[in-house]
């Protein structure tokens, strides 16, 4: 009987695998150790050893699909979209609950971490109002940092479960911990390099994005560096750029159609996410079967070019941030708006904003000539509407209601969300007592500040006296 053949015991009906050797050897082995005078016990009366039967196991779904992809890809062409969708669907059915659980865990961990630290910062800020802005900002930064770490851990576990068909939920979480920093570094490099490509032109940034599409799968299954994963991904895509683009365009279009479905679109898109990542992994496996294992080189023009693009992207991001901060600081009320955003819409505003919120009007002088140009200084809260306004009125117009002021205004200007500055008016033509009044809105608002000034007629000029006539001589 050939070694490895399956045999069935006629008594117990269990199936065993023959491990080799002859029947004579088996009979000889059965008599070894018998003492003289001992009776030979019939085989039927001997206790059977407790063997664990070796039962054939069915291959894992991913292993079967990998073999199919390899078979299709051996000719140098990528599998068709239908074949990729079919293979992806088989894995999706087997792995859905594990993958969707890991994906949701990564999102929830980020949101919870950010909310916990931001809430803690806001709570401490209420206890120490003088340092509210730094405390809330520190809580926000800490929450985002911890949230990103938690998300990197969960997302790494998710990708490990995508590339390894045998990894369960807990195993993927355990293995993902070691990938937190590598994945954080990988995505940092991708953002900087792609942004550097976009600085040059939009098209190079788009090309780079597709080159790097498989880097996350390479990092999930290999102990490699972030830059090496990017370079290996680029090597796999080279020569198949348009084929990969078309296959990704189809699945992306399908995902977009699901997303626009009212109400159910959000849930369908969420459920479709594992399918997309499995589908991408199938494309990566096909390229790997076609090209074989690719090793990233430690030198070369491509690698140096990527490093240069990363440096360019870093500089561009710093300059963009500095420009945005400078623009905000120079715009009227810009810093106050930023502070209000950090304080959740102004619920706990810092002292600096509160000081600037008092509506106020003042003049360098209070007496003017008719039609004389006058400069009005003002401060106003950032919470005022865009149509808050300042106007000139006769001093005898009743105070309080914006509606009354609107009916009696001589001239006015909108503040347009400015919180401080100057307004230039041409003074009234007639002498008399007038008011400058600020109103918080142009629609049934309230008068919030006023200052009175006077227009005086110029003093009359004395007529020149004629020179006395000198008598003739």
Q: Specify whether 124 is located in the same domain as 239.
A: yes
Q: How far is residue 427's CA from residue 435's CA, in Å, rounded to a whole number?
A: 11
Q: How far is residue 431's CA from residue 454's CA, in Å, rounded to a whole number?
A: 7
Domain end call among 310, 328, 346: 328
Q: How far is residue 388's CA from residue 359's CA, in Å, rounded to a whole number?
A: 11
Q: What is the mean pLDDT of residues 48-63?
A: 43
Q: Assess contact for 419 and 396: CB atoms under 8 A.
A: no
Q: Specify whether 118 is located in the same domain as 220.
A: yes
Distances (CA, A) of 12 to 9, 61, 419, 469: 6, 33, 93, 159
- Assess if residue 185 is contained within a domain: yes
At 451, give phi and psi (nearest 5°). Answer: -150, 140
pLDDT in tens, 229-274: 888 888 888 888 898 999 989 988 988 898 888 888 889 989 999 9
Number of structural domains (the chain) is 3
Give pLDDT, residue 437: 95
- The whole domain housing 451 covers 354-455
- Assess if residue 120 is contained within a domain: yes
pLDDT surpasses 60 at 18 = no
Q: Specify whether 368 is located in the same domain as 254.
A: no
pLDDT category at 455 given cuts 50, 70, 90 is: very high
Q: Specify whether 280 is located in the same domain as 410.
A: no
pLDDT in tens, 392-434: 999 999 998 999 999 999 999 999 888 888 999 998 999 999 9
Strands (E), 284-395: 360-363, 367-368, 373-379, 389-394
Q: At what angle do helices 202-211 and 241-259 cross, to 10 degrees?
A: 90
Q: How many alpha carbons fall within 13 Å on the CB side of residue 346?
A: 11
Q: At what angle do helices 202-211 and 180-200 cross, to 10 degrees?
A: 150
**SS3 category, 215:** helix
- Assess if residue 429 is contained within a domain: yes
Task: For tokens 């992809």, name the residue.
Answer: 69
Q: In CATH, what number is assigned to the domain containing residue 403? A: 2.60.40.2840
Mean residue pLDDT across the chain: 78
- Assess if residue 43 is contained within a domain: no
- Assess if residue 344 is contained within a domain: no
pLDDT in tens, 324-363: 777 766 665 555 555 555 554 444 444 434 344 689 999 9
Give pLDDT, residue 51: 35
Q: Specify whether 297 is located in the same domain as 163.
A: yes
Lowest-confidence segment of 107-111, 322-326, 380-384 by average pLDDT? 322-326
- Assess if residue 212 is contained within a domain: yes
pLDDT in tens, 31-51: 444 444 444 445 445 454 443
pTM value is 0.56
Lowest-confidence segment of 41-55, 61-75, 184-198, 363-377 by average pLDDT? 41-55
Lowest-confidence segment of 124-138, 192-206, 248-262, 431-445 by average pLDDT? 124-138
Q: Specify whether 24 is located in the same domain as 78.
A: no
Give pLDDT, residue 50: 42
Give pLDDT, residue 453: 94
Q: Specify whether 318 is located in the same domain as 364.
A: no
Give pLDDT, residue 443: 86
Q: Specify whether 111 is located in the same domain as 233.
A: yes
Q: Assess contact for 358 and 379: CB atoms under 8 A.
A: yes
Give pLDDT, residue 339: 57
Q: Specify whether 68 is located in the same domain as 30.
A: no
Give pLDDT, residue 348: 45
pLDDT surpasses 70 at 465 = no
Q: What is the mean pLDDT of residues 52-67?
A: 46
> Residue 70: beta bridge partners?
none
- Both tokens assigned to 274: 């594992």
- Assess if residue 365 is contained within a domain: yes
Please provide the distance, in angstroms rounded to a whole number, between the alpha carbons at the two ends of the chain: 169
Q: Assess contact for 375 and 407: CB atoms under 8 A.
A: no
pLDDT category at 202 given cuts 50, 70, 90 is: low
- Assess if residue 91 is contained within a domain: yes
Give pLDDT, residue 412: 93
> Residue 375: beta bridge partners?
424
Q: Specify whether 137 is located in the same domain as 185.
A: yes
pLDDT surpasses 90 at 290 = no
Pairing of strands 6-8, 15-17: antiparallel
Q: Specify whether 76 is located in the same domain as 8.
A: no
pLDDT in tens, 303-322: 788 888 888 888 888 888 88
Q: Specify whether 14 is located in the same domain as 109.
A: no
């Amino acid at each position: 009987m050939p070694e490895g053949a399956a045999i069935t015991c006629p008594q117990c009906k269990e199936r065993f695998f023959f491990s080799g050797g002859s029947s004579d050897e088996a009979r000889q082995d059965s008599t070894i150790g018998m003492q003289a005078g001992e009776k030979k016990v019939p085989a039927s009366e001997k206790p059977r050893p407790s063997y664990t039967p070796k039962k054939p196991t069915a291959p894992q779904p991913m292993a079967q699909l990998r073999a199919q992809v390899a078979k299709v890809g051996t000719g140098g062409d990528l599998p068709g979209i239908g074949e990729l969708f079919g293979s992806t669907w088989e894995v999706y059915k087997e792995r859905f609950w594990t993958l969707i659980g890991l994906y949701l865990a990564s999102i929830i961990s980020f949101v919870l971490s950010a909310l916990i630290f931001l809430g803690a910062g806001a709570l401490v800020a209420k206890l120490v109002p003088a340092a509210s802005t730094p405390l809330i900002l520190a809580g926000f930064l800490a929450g985002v940092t911890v949230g990103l770490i938690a998300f990197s851990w969960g997302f790494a576990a998710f990708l490990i479960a995508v590339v390894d068909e045998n990894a369960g939920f807990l195993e993927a979480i355990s293995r993902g911990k070691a990938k937190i920093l590598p994945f954080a570094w990988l995505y940092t490099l991708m953002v900087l390099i792609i942004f550097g490509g976009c600085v040059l032109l939009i098209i190079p940034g788009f090309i780079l994005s597709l080159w790097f599409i498989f880097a996350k799968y390479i990092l999930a299954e290999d102990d490699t560096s972030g830059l090496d994963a990017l370079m290996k991904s680029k090597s796999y895509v080279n020569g198949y750029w348009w084929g990969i683009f078309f296959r990704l365009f189809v699945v992306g279009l399908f995902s977009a159609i699901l997303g626009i479905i009212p109400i159910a679109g959000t849930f369908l898109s969420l459920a479709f996410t594992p399918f997309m990542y499995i589908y991408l992994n199938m494309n990566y496996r096909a390229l790997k079967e076609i090209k074989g294992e690719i090793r990233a080189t430690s030198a070369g023009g491509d690698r140096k070019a990527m490093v240069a693009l990363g440096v360019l992207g870093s500089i561009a991001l710093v300059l963009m941030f500095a420009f945005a901060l400078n623009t905000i600081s120079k715009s009227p009320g810009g810093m106050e708006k930023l502070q209000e955003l950090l304080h959740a819409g102004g619920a706990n505003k810092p002292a600096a904003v509160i000081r600037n919120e008092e509506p106020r009007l003042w003049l360098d002088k209070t007496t003017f000539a008719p039609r004389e140009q006058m400069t009005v200084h003002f401060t106003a809260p950032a919470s005022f509407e865009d149509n808050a306004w300042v106007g000139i009125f006769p001093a005898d117009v009743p105070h309080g209601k914006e509606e009354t002021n609107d009916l009696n205004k001589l001239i006015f200007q909108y503040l347009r969300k400015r919180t401080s500055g100057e307004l230039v008016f041409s003074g009234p033509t007639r002498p008399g007592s007038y008011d400058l009044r600020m109103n918080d809105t142009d629609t049934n608002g309230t008068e919030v500040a006023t200052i009175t000034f006077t227009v005086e007629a110029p003093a009359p000029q004395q007529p020149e006296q004629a020179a006395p006539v000198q008598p003739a001589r």
